[in-house]
């Protein structure tokens, strides 16, 4: 089966009793045992649930992985991957990581005795010098948030593997429709399923995917112990969403390219960040490793006032956190995704206060362009 078909069919057989085409919602915290001699496959929803199992199967398959563990949020999934670390371990984190992951490294991991060093994913050759005897795990993501830089997944992974590090990759921005990092040697893919996988801005969730039964079991056991699990309804909604991931991503990508090209030609725009543009610094890497260039576009205006004006005056693009839903959203990183960082930390990472991040939805692209045209006219 190919991607679009897998998204619709894997883990989604008609229900055995009535042959319902859509899996029923098993909104039950507990499942009855037949007798004391047979432990049921599913007995308590914190451990697993039929809706969760179906979604785990399809996400694993779409990432070309064997195992998936679902979580209550993307951050819980990243914490699940970090649960492989223990007191005294050292972690390597890409500099331009999602703000919430950075917050974990700054505020949570130190209290568990775990230290972090940052590396530039565009310079995998610098990893050797950063590795310490206690370095255990490396995490990175691409395209990055909000700069949309694309680093070479295979090259970073190979550099980490020289030191036997566990390589964790956040594939939220591309989704499995555009790249499959496990095929490039990554050990664990993490997702905020809140974004493209569920795709409709109506549910928060997360996932880890791996080919290693050992890593999977450790993460699963941690999640069972901690209880950061998704509800059956969250899984049901996400399963409904994932069915259309393939065709949604096609629309996101073609709309994003149209929006990026429009902005690149606009006199009031200082700079556009979209890996699908030929003059993007990582266009060639993106072409090599991604099936298409994604639905995210960042744009720099010529002043903070101009950025604020556009942010507050679009009608189709809604001013909101998050991304990857069918509707277009516009975010202001300093007050939203990167609010945890100081102005200095943001500038070090190339996130100026004149930048807006667009999550381009699947509306008619001309409506998106008209909306941005009208907002830019006010600047
Ligand atoms: C790249 C990336 N990873 C992880 C997360 C965290 O996901 P969640 O909000 O589902 O916890 C986000 C959220 O925006 C994200 O953009």
Q: How far is the CA of 174 from the centre of ligand 1 (A)?
A: 12
The rounded Å distance from CA 337 to ligand 1 centre is 9
**pLDDT value at 349 more than 90:** no
The mean predicted confidence, pLDDT, of the chain is: 97
- Angle, helix 74-82 to helix 213-226, in steps of 10 degrees: 120
Share of the chain above pLDDT 90, in %: 96
* pLDDT score at 301: 98
Give the pTM: 0.97
Asked if 170 is an active-site residue, the reply is yes
Q: Is 89 in the pocket of ligand 1 (CB under 6 A)?
A: no
Decide if pLDDT at 338 tops 90. no
Percent of the chain surpassing pLDDT 70: 100
Q: Of all atoms in ligand 1, which is nearest to the CA of residue 173?
A: 1
How much is the pLDDT for 157?
98
234 lines ligand 1 (CB under 6 A): no
Q: 267 pLDDT exceeds 90? A: yes
Q: Give pLDDT tens digits for 162-208.
A: 999 999 999 999 999 999 999 999 999 999 999 999 999 999 999 99
Q: Which residue has the tokens 């069918």?
A: 326
For the beta carbon of residue 77, count every other beta carbon within 10 angstroms.
31
Per DSSP bridges, beta strands 188-192 and 206-210 are antiparallel
Nearest to 177 by CA among 59, 280, 285, 282: 59
Instruction: Point out the catalytic residue in the list 15, 46, 308, 367.
Output: 46
**Residue 315 structure tokens:** 């009608």
Residue 305's pLDDT is 97
Asked if residue 73 has its Cβ within 6 Å of ligand 1, the reply is yes
Identify the band that residue 110 occupies on the pLDDT scale cut at 50, 70 and 90. very high
Task: Give me ligand 1 centre to Cα 266, in Å.
Answer: 31
CB-ligand 1 contact for 204 (6 Å cutoff):
yes
Catalytic: which of 170, 187, 282, 292? 170
Res 311 pLDDT > 90:
yes
Taking residues 72-101, report their average pLDDT.
Answer: 96
Q: Which long-range contacts (CB under 8 A, 24 or more apart) does 107-111 make?
A: 108/79, 109/82, 109/85
Predicted local confidence at residue 221, as pLDDT:
98
Known active-site residue 46: yes
Contact indicator for 150, 286 with CB cutoff of 8 Å? yes
Q: State how far the Cα of 323 lies from the Cα of 305, in Å rounded to an integer.
A: 24
Inform me whether the pLDDT recorded for 341 exceeds 90.
Answer: no
Q: Which two tokens stand for residue 215?
A: 């890593």
- Confidence (pLDDT) at 339: 86
pLDDT of 275 above 90? yes
Ligand 1 pocket mutation pick from 79, 100, 198 by most atoms within 8 angstroms of CB: 100
Which residue would you say has higher pLDDT here, 342 or 370? 370
pLDDT band, very low/low/confident/very high, at 122 (cuts 50, 70, 90) = very high
Regarding the beta carbon of 201 and ligand 1, being less than 6 Å apart is answered no
Q: How far is the CA of 75 from the centre of ligand 1 (A)?
A: 6
40 C-alpha to ligand 1 centroid (Å): 34
Q: Which domains does the chain have, with CATH numbers?
A: 3-242 (3.40.640.10), 245-377 (3.90.1150.10)
Q: Which pLDDT belongs to residue 379?
A: 96
Distance CA 55, CA 11 (A): 7
- Answer yes or no: 370 catalytic: no
- Does residue 332 carry a catalytic annotation? no
- The predicted pLDDT at position 313 comes to 98
pLDDT at 80 over 90: yes
Check residue 268 and give its pLDDT: 98
Catalytic residue among 26, 98, 274, 332: 98
CA distance 280 to 284: 9
* Residue 28, pLDDT score: 98
Ligand 1 lined by 71 (C-beta under 6 Å): no
75 lines ligand 1 (CB under 6 A): yes
Nearest ligand 1 atom to the CA of 75 is 11
Asked whether 92 and 139 are in contact (CB, 8 A), the reply is yes
Judge contact between 282 and 151, C-beta under 8 A: yes
pLDDT at 222 over 90: yes
**Of 111, 54, 83, the residue nearest 227 (C-alpha):** 83
pLDDT-based confidence at residue 322 (cuts at 50, 70, 90): very high
Buried b / exposed e along 337-368 (16+ C-beta atoms within 10 A): bbeebeeeebeebbbbbbbbbbbbbbbebeeb
């Amino acid at each position: 089966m190919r991607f679009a078909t897998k998204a619709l069919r894997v883990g989604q057989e008609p229900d055995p009793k009535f042959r319902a085409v859509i899996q029923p919602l098993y909104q039950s915290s507990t499942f009855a045992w037949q007798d004391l001699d047979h432990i049921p496959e599913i007995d308590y929803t914190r451990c697993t649930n039929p809706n969760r199992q179906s979604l785990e199967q399809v996400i694993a398959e779409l990432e070309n992985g064997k195992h998936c563990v679902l979580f209550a949020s993307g951050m819980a999934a990243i914490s699940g991957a970090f649960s492989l670390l223990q007191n005294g371990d050292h972690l390597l984190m890409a500099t331009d990581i999602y703000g919430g992951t950075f917050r974990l490294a700054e505020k949570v991991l130190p209290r568990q005795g775990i230290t972090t060093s940052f590396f530039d994913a565009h310079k995998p050759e610098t990893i050797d010098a950063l590795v310490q005897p206690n370095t255990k795990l490396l995490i990175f993501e691409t395209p990055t948030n909000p700069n949309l830089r694309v680093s070479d997944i295979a090259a970073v992974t190979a550099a980490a593997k020289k030191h036997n590090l566990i390589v964790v990759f956040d594939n939220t921005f591309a989704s499995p429709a555009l790249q499959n990092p496990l095929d490039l040697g990554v050990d664990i893919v993490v997702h905020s399923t809140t974004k493209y996988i569920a795709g409709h801005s109506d549910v928060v969730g997360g996932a880890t995917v791996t080919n290693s039964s050992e890593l999977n079991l450790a993460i699963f056991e941690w999640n069972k112990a901690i209880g950061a699990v998704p509800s059956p309804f969250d899984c049901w909604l996400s399963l409904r969403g994932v069915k259309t991931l393939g065709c949604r991503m096609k629309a996101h990508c073609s709309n994003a390219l149209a929006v990026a090209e429009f902005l690149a030609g606009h006199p009031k725009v200082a700079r556009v960040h979209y890996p699908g543009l030929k003059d993007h610094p990582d266009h060639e890497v993106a072409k090599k490793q991604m099936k298409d260039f994604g639905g995210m576009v960042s744009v720099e205006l010529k002043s903070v006032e101009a950025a604020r004006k556009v942010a507050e005056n679009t009608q189709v693009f809604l001013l909101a956190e998050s991304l990857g839903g069918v509707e277009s959203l516009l975010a202001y990183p300093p007050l939203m995704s990167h609010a945890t960082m100081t102005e200095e930390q943001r500038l070090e990472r190339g996130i100026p206060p004149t930048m807006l991040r667009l999550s381009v939805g699947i509306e008619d692209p001309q409506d998106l362009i008209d909306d941005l045209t009208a907002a830019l006219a006010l600047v």
